[in-house]
Amino acid sequence: MWGDGRRAPRWGTALALGWGAAALAGGLLFAAYGEAALGVERKLALVFAAAGGLAFWAGRRPWAAAVRWAALGWLALAFAGTAGFTLRTTAVTLREVQSVRHEASLKAVGLWLNRHTPLDARVLLEPLGYAGYYAQRVMLDEVGLVTPAVVALKRSGVTDTYEALDALRPDYVLLHCDDALRWAERDPQPENRLTRAFRLAAEINPLGFDPRDAETRGRNSCYQIWERYP
């Protein structure tokens, strides 16, 4: 396989591209879930790139066939180890996302809304899936997937959900805990669109996240439910 120096660069390039693609795929997965473990993927990407470079370099050395096969074996072991670690880390992360963010957080949000709000309550939120399914209330999604009024506002130039509160007039607003903190500090009390019309009704925070902390893992599972004043 590495007996011809002219073929070695192609093998080295293939290894570098293949392993780099694997690292990129894993990195995108973690990025999609916003997990702090994304740093692990960056480190693995460096390992894969280094291994690909080593394969390229080793294939061009005038070594005996046995030495080249030994180098290939070590590279294969390194790839298997790092790939196994990546898969295990990914599985643990996805299991945590399911149990904490979905079950303990968004499902809990939906159940709270179902038990504590009127049947005709209008809820403004972004995470529509779990919360919307368990709430069984009228959902105003801030992206505009199922809410034409949101689309109309965005077309008119109102793309900030905070700025759209007065126009949409929801009965409840679901926010990430740190987003609620920022909204409450955007304008002084008399003009603040959140605090002048809504009060904090419930907080779902299974990991004890501090809203002033930048830690991503806890932030993704911390939500506050604000209800309109009577």
What H or E segment, with its residue span, contains residue 173?
strand 172-176
What would the two tokens of residue 223 be?
């939500």
Q: What is the pLDDT of residue 2?
A: 43
pLDDT in tens, 159-191: 999 999 999 999 999 999 999 999 999 999 889
Q: Are strands 172-176 and 122-125 parallel, antiparallel or unpaired?
A: parallel
Cα angle 35, 194, 142 (rounded to 5 degrees) comes to 55
Residue located via tokens 């690292």 = 23
Judged by DSSP in three states, 226 sits in strand
pLDDT in tens, 69-100: 776 677 667 666 666 666 566 555 656 666 77
In our burial notation (b when 16+ CB lie closer than 10 A, e otherwise), range 69-107 reads: eebbeebeebbeebbeebeebbeebeebbeebbbeebbb
Distances (CA, A) of 166 to 137, 163, 204: 20, 7, 25
Q: What is the pLDDT of residue 82?
A: 66
Cα angle 204, 205, 208 (rounded to 5 degrees) comes to 160
Average pLDDT, the chain: 78
In this structure, are residues 150 and 168 in contact, taking their beta carbons and an 8 Å threshold? yes
Q: How far apart are CA 79 and CA 47, in angstroms?
A: 9
> Which regions of the chain are under pLDDT 70?
1-68, 71-72, 75-76, 78-98, 214-217
Cα angle 19, 25, 30 (rounded to 5 degrees) comes to 130
Q: Which residue intervals of the chain are DSSP H helices?
A: 8-33, 38-59, 65-96, 108-116, 128-135, 148-155, 161-168, 177-184, 216-219
Residues 6+ apart with CB under 8 A from 197: 165, 228, 229
Residue 106 carries which side chain, given as an amino acid letter?
L
